[in-house]
Chains A and B, each alone.
Chain A
Amino acid sequence: MTDRDSSAESPADRSFEIELKLLIDAIYLKYHYDFREYAGASLKRRLLAALERFDCATLSQLQDRLLHDTEVFPQLLDYLTVQVSEMFRDPDYFLALRQTVIPMLRTYPSLKIWVAGCSTGEEVYSFAILLREEGLLDRTLIYATDINTNALARAAAGVYSVDRIAGFTDNHRRSGARNSLSDYYTAAYGRAMFDKSLRKNIVFSDHSLATDSVFAEVQLVSCRNVLIYFNRELQDRALGLFSDALCRKGFLGLGSKESLRFSRHADAFADLVREQRLFQKQDFAA
């Protein structure tokens, strides 16, 4: 047998893999978004969904549209990235932050926090509210970054459908809330608009964990449900950025099913609250 027949895949699927690689390369060359090291299986599913949405029979057709019609890419970006979020998602994470991390953050005269992959802002507003309740918001600068600029614009607006508020309120309460969530928004016409003063100290910016570098020294990085979309190499790149951005003894929080166990950077962090995926940067002997 030659190398050529050694593939176990069926012929149709083999073409799909080729087209997928070409499409991802085309996106990188034309739009400088790098999806080359994303986890393959879920990326494939999302592209299959995009084929239906854009009414294309093959990824080659989609690639053709993508290269020649610049309006297609921003729409495709919503398929390539996943915008699922909630306020105080996994309340126990925020409770553990209040109980374990906040007391240590209080010792700093001023704070910088990086919420990486902030999507439409739910996580960032959760942080702003938590920090306000803990009396730290005024001395904190929050960097909220994502590659999806539509999502960033919505994050900066801070407006959510009121249908979602009951869930947010319940999560907030379970996170050790000191006030009622309704203190932080005004509702009108089916929408809840979060208080402008919450975002006074938030900087929203377009930043990719795949291609950009560290931009500030921070005391805490929260990057939740982003790394699961990356393969191991890209996870390692992102974790390297976090390790570089964090100050000595800085804190890292991940999503509830994300772990450092399989990463090259596992030793750079120690468990702080294991079940809540809160870690602390380790000192190394020089």
Chain B
Amino acid sequence: MSAADFDAIVIGTSAGGIEALSRLLPALPAALHASVLIVLHLPRDRPSLLADLFAPQCALAVCEAEDKEPLQPGTVYFAPPDYHLLVDRERDGSVVLALSSDELVHYSRPSIDVLFESAADAYGPRLLGIVLTGGNQDGAAGLAAVHREGGRCIVQSPDEAQAAYMPEAALRRGHADEVLTLAQIAERLSRL
């Protein structure tokens, strides 16, 4: 796993996710080439403060995704509450963010599966998918899609996760190239 391997990193998490991300995102190096897209399950009826929360901790720009925004390298995008976040390829070949208010998936909007599956289509083997702590099975099918399209998959060790269900489901249904602790994932990311 080296710096040039990935154009995008997708991360999915729910319960315990804020803490887990507080350990991972600060590890991302300022010179990161990949874009980072994150779905964290949150209440649907409130504005999300995630970008404001994480921006001061990160060496990279952190923002809430906007529809049709061209993906920038070295930028962290959070899915806004109550919208699915997807990755689309425009006619001219450029990759953009896309939002949708399609039905909930696994009771969630945004859904991790929706992000991961569309990113797998857009990036194929140049994608790194990471499933972290969480209390439902969202992300498992998504991680399977990342693997099917040749991307790399990391799952947080369920033993360590604040909520083990999501990483366990990802291991059962999806695929993991590596099962790692947060400290190990952070270390991997810092070398990208």
Contact = CB atoms under 8 A, between A and B. Distances in A.
Interface of A: 8-10, 13, 39-42, 44-46, 82, 84, 225, 227-229, 231-233, 235, 257-259, 261-263
A41 B66 contact: no
Contacts of B86: 39, 41-42
Interface of B: 66-70, 80, 83-84, 86-91, 96, 98-103, 114, 117-118, 121-122, 124-126, 148-150
Nearest to A235: B68
A257 B83 contact: yes
Given A228-B100, A231-B91, A42 B67 contact: no
B148 A39 contact: no
B128 to A, nearest CB: 15
Contact of A232 (B80, B83, B90): B90
B102 A257 contact: no
A42 B98 CA distance: 8
16 contacts: A8-B150, A41-B121, A41-B122, A42-B84, A42-B100, A42-B118, A44-B121, A84-B102, A228-B67, A228-B100, A231-B91, A232-B91, A232-B96, A233-B91, A257-B67, A262-B66
Contacts of A41: 86-88, 98, 118, 121-122
A189 to B, nearest CB: 27
A183 B20 CA distance: 49
Contact of B100 (A8, A9, A82): A82
B149 A10 contact: yes
Contacts of A257: 66-67, 80, 83, 99
Contacts of A10: 148-150
Contacts of A84: 101-103
